[in-house]
A and B are shown apart, each in its own frame.
Chain A
Amino acid sequence: MTEGTDAVELRGIGKSFPGVIANHDVDLTIRQGTVHALIGENGAGKSTLMKILYGVQRPDEGTIRLNGEEVVLKSPTDAIQHGVGMVFQHFMLADNLTVLENLVLGAEKLYGIGDQARTEIARISDRFGFGLKPDVLVEKLGVADRQRVEIAKVLYRGARIIILDEPTAVLVPQEVEALFANLRELRDAGNSILFISHKLDEVLAIADDITVMRRGATVGTADPKTATKRQLAELMVGSELPSPETSESTVTDVEELKLTEVTVTDEFGRDLLSDISLTIRRGEVLGIAGVEGNGQSELVEMIMGMRIPSAGHITLGTEDVTHWHTRQLREAGIAYIPEDRQRHGLLLDAPLWENRMLGHQTQAPNAKGPWINRSGARKDTQRIMTEYDVRAPGIDTPSRALSGGNQQKLIVGREMSGDPVLLIASHPTRGVDIGAQAAIWDHMRRARRAGLAVLLISADLDELIGLSDTIQVLLRGRFVGTFDPSTVTPQDLGAAMTGGEAA
C-alpha cells in the first residue's frame, strides 16, 4: 500500500432485494488511519452496505477498492484476506466456546489453536488493554467484554480496516467512553475504522469524517469539526425532525397498576428482580431506563403473567392479580407491545387477520364463546389497517411479508383495540422507520390523554425522556433512582444505569 491511497473507496454501489432497493448510488471514501462515521436512520441501508463491504452480500453494481486495488468480495473469507474485519451489532460469538476458541475459529492457520494462539491473544489484549482471559467461556462475559472479544477477533486476523456496526447500541455512556479510547488507540496504530451509528453526539465525538445515508443512497459528507447536530440530523431525515416530547401532564389520581415489593427469582433461587415497588396512575407514562439484561424483560414478563413473583403483590385496578395467567390479564385490559415483535408479537406465517386475533383470541370481535369469529376478526383487521396506516396488499398477506414499521403499526393497532387500561410497551419504536416512529408516538400520546396507564421500556433515552412522566432506573434487578424527565439528562441516566451515582 502506498501513502495517500485511500483505505476504502466505494463507487456507485447498488443492491436490491426482491421488492426493495437497499442501496443505490452509494459512494464512500475512507482515508487511511481515520475513524469514518456512516450515519443514517434505521432503514437507510447502512447494514446492507456493511455486509457488502464484508463480503456477506454481493453488490449488484458498483466497485470496491481497498487500498487502491479493485476487489471482488465473494465471502467474508475474501474480505478477511483483504484485511477487512467486522464487529457485528448482534455479536457473532458462540456462547459455549471459550474466548480462545471464538478468536481462533476460522483463522486456525495463523497461529494454530494452542499455545501460539494464546500468546498472540495475550499480545493483542495487552497492546490495547482488553484484559481478555482466553479460557473463559464466552457465556460468562458481559456485553462490554464480548465487544472487546469481537474487536480482538478482527485484530487477530490482522485486519487493518475495521467495521463496527452500531457498536454503542448495547453500551452505556461510560462504556462508550472506554470503547472510544480503544478506537482512538486502534486508529493511532494505523487502522482505518468505519463506525456506523445514528447517535449524533457520539459521531461528533469520535469521527474524523462523516458520510450520511438516506433511503439507500449516500446523500452527503460532513466535517465533524464544523457540522452541528441539527445539520446532520436534517441531512439524515431530509426534513424536520419529529420530537417525542409530550405536552401537558395528564396524570390522574386513579392507580391502575401497583407493584408492592415484588421479587422474582430464577430456578436456582437467585433474584432477578428484588423488592420492586411502583405505581402507575391513569394517564401516566412510567419510563424504565436500564442497560439491557438488568431485569427489564423479567419485569415485563412478570406483569404479563409469564413469570410468577416469589414475593410481593401486583394490583391491577382494585384486584390482586399476582397469580393471574397471561390470558386473564389480557382479558382484564392489559395491552402488550413486546420487545421482539417477530418472536413475541406475530405469527409470521399466518395472515394479518389471524395476527390481529393473537393475544385477543378470546375477546370480541375475534371470538364467540369457544368459536372463532372469522368475519368479525377480518373486518376489524381492515379497520386497523386503515386507522393505523398499515401498508400491506390485504388482510390475507402473511405478516412476514411486511416491513418492520408496518408490522409494528399492526401490533400497536391491535393492542390499542378494545379499550385497554394499561399498556406495557417494550422498545415500541425499535427498528422501525422514522414515519412509523412518529405515528407510534402519536398513538401513545393520544391513548395517554384518554386515560391509559403506560409502562414504557426503552433503550432510546431520548424517547424515554420525551414520553415519560416519571423515569425509574433499573440496575441488577433493583430500582436505583427516580428521575423527573423535565430536568434529567441522558448522562445522568447513564450514570445511574451503570451504578455510577444513584439519585
Chain B
Amino acid sequence: MKALNLRSIGLALLAPAIAIVVSVLVTTLVIAAVGSSPGDFWSAMFSNPLPRLRVNIVNQTATYYIAAVAAAIGFRMGLFNIGLEGQYTLASYAAAAFGGGAYLSGFANVLVSILIAIAVGAAWAGVAAVLKTTRGVSEVISTIMLNSIAVFLVGYLLNRYGVHIGNSVRTTTLAPSSNVPGFTPYLARDGEIWGLSLLAVVVGVGFWVLLNKTRFGFDLRASGMSPTAALASGINPNRMIITAMMLSGGVAGLIWLPALFGGAGAYGTSFQSGLGFIGISVALLGRNRPLGMLFGALLFAFLDTQSNTLTFSTNVPPSIVQITEGIAVLAVVVAFEVVRRWRARLEQRSVGQKPVAATEASA
C-alpha cells in the first residue's frame, strides 16, 4: 500500500515536472533564437532576490493565490469563470470608493469595505450565473463580455465621481487609520508584507476544508466530474451554479484588497490589472488543488518579480517570463492529460490482472 502511495505521489509530480522542463526549454530556445544569452538570463533569474524583492514576492504570492482560489472554485465544478478580471476590478473600485469615503473609521471601515468587495464581486459573477441558469448562456462568453463591461463601467464611475489630479484620476485616499498594518521583515525601505495577505491563508484553508470536508464540497466536485450524475444524485444544478459562481466572484473581490489596504490607499493608477487572468493560469498550473496552487502562485510571483531585475543585468526583455508562464500552463495541462491516460491504463491493468472477457458495455 505504501509503495502504491509513493507511486501515486510520483505520478502526481510527474506532470508538473514535465511542464517545468518544457517551459524552461522553450524559454531558453526563444532567448537563444533572438541572439541573447540564456545563461545570463537564468543566472539573473535565479540569483538570490534582494530583500525588497523578497517582500514583493510574498505579497504577490498572496495576491495570486487568492485569485487562483477564486478561479478554482468555479473550475472544480466545471464552470469557467473567465470573469474574475471584471469581478475584482469592480469590487476593488467599490471597496476603495467606500473605504475612501470614510463613513466608518478604523477597523470597522476595513471590515465593511471587505464585505462590500465580496458582495460586489459575487453580484457581478451572479449576473453570469443567472444568465446561465435562466437563459442557458455559456458562462465563458458572458463573463468575457462582463469583463469588458466592468472595465468601462469603472472608467465611467471613476471619471464621474473620482478625484482628478492632472491627467490621472483616482478614488479618495483611505484615512491612515484604515491602513492595515503589515509586517516588516527587513529594513523599512524594503517595504512591508501587507497585513491582509493573511486573507490568502484564510481563503486557502477555507477552500481546502470546503472541498474535502463538507457536503457542499462533495456536491461541487461531483458536479464538476459529471453534471448528469450530480443531477441524478439530487444536486440542484442551478443552485450549485449560482452558489459556486457567486462564491468564486466573492473571493475574486478580495484579490486586490491586500494591496489597497496595505499601501495603495486608493483605486487609481496603482491598480494592478490582469490579476484575474493570472489567477486562472495559477489555478490551471496548480490543478485547482489548494497546495498545488500555492506552488503555482509562488512560481509566478517569483518569475514576475525577478524579471524586473533583467533590465539591469541582461538585454533580455522582462516580458520573456510571460512566455515561460504561458508555456508552463499549457504544458502542465497537456502533461496531466498524458499522465492521466497512462494512469488509467495502469489502473485497468491492476484491476484485470486475471484476464477476463471484456464487457461490451463500454463501447
Contact = CB atoms under 8 A, between A and B. Distances in A.
A and B touch in the complex (CB under 8 A): yes
Interface of A: 16-22, 42-48, 215-216, 304-306, 325-331, 336, 338, 340, 343-350, 354, 357-362, 367, 370-372, 392-393, 397-398, 400-405, 430-433
A358 B357 contact: no
A306 B53 CA distance: 55
A359 B234 contact: yes
Q: Please list the 7 inter-chain residue pairs (A to B) with the smallest Cβ-Cβ separation, ordered nearest first.
A: A19-B352, A431-B361, A327-B234, A404-B361, A359-B233, A326-B234, A404-B359
A21 B311 CA distance: 62
A372 B218 contact: yes
B98 to A, nearest CB: 32
Given A347-B222, A403-B356, A361 B349 contact: no
Contacts of B216: 370
The interface centre, meaning the residue of A44, A346, A347 with most chain B CB atoms within 10 A of its CB, is A347
Contacts of A362: 215, 234
B358 A371 contact: no
Give chain B's interface secondary structure class.
Answer: helix
Contacts of B361: 42-43, 404, 430-432
B347 A21 contact: no
Given A21-B357, A330-B234, A371-B215, A404 B229 contact: no
Contacts, number: 151
Give chain A's interface secondary structure class.
Answer: loop
B347 A398 contact: yes
9 contacts: A343-B226, A344-B229, A345-B232, A347-B225, A348-B225, A348-B226, A358-B229, A361-B215, A403-B352
Contacts of B234: 305, 325-331, 359, 361-362
Given A18-B349, A345-B229, A43 B360 contact: yes
A309 B135 CA distance: 21
A21 B355 contact: yes
Nearest to B233: A359
Contact of A405 (B218, B236, B353, B359): B359
A432 B359 CA distance: 7
A400 B348 CA distance: 8
Interface string B212-256: 111111110110011011011111100000000000000000000
B134 to A, nearest CB: 13
The interface centre, meaning the residue of B350, B353, B358 with most chain A CB atoms within 10 A of its CB, is B358
Contacts of A16: 355
B214 A349 contact: no
Contacts of B212: 372
B362 interface: yes
Given A361-B219, A362-B215, 19 more contacts: A19-B351, A19-B353, A20-B352, A42-B360, A43-B361, A46-B360, A215-B356, A327-B234, A350-B225, A357-B218, A358-B222, A359-B233, A371-B214, A372-B217, A393-B351, A401-B351, A402-B351, A405-B359, A432-B361
